[in-house]
Amino acid sequence: MLHLASQSPRRRELLGRLGLQFGVLDLDIPEQRQPGEAAMDYVRRVAREKAGAGLLKVMGNPQAVVLGADTEVVLDDEVFGKPVDADDAAAMLRRLSGRTHQVITAVSVVSAGREAQAVSLSEVTFESLDDARIAAYVASGEPFGKAGGYGIQGGAEVFTTRLAGSFSGVMGLPLFETASLLRQFGVIQ
């Protein structure tokens, strides 16, 4: 049985696109970057910790396979997590405006006997955004609960001038990498 170690509606939607039945695990994993920890290492660690914590929750099932993922927006080596409020969301969008940033998504899959991980690295460029557009976007409520304060699958798609990488990876679960990992675990053909 496959379990998704995430409450993210976007990850549930994306994993559902693979046509799989899966359970959803409610976990509270701290997402805190350690001093001196590289952004890539941070994202990989959090994804592993989510999957590992999920496996502990389903230990009674030796057939369980758990998928954990983490997505972060990175600009100038600064990790932009989920905004804490409207001001934080607006500040993130101001920093991303007119710039190219990275979106790193790590996916970890674990079972009782093995672990594997894949990473999707994408580059996203935003057009220059004035304060009125930023305020309107923040007022839509869309920035909340999303790394970097935006959802590429929603209103932010309008001000995304370039995407190099994985659209689903920027959303939060890169389907190519995820399917490849799940094949290794015999979850899909």
What are the catalytic residues?
70
Alpha carbon 106 to its chain's center:
7
Rounded to whole angstroms, the Cα distance separating 166 from 11 reads 14
Q: Is 9 exposed, middle or buried (0-12, 13-18, 19+ CB in 10 A)?
A: exposed
Q: What is the DSSP track for 101-115?
A: EEEEEEEEEEESS-E
Rounded to whole angstroms, the Cα distance separating 38 from 150 reads 22
Question: Is the separation of the CB atoms in 156 and 112 below 8 Å?
Answer: no
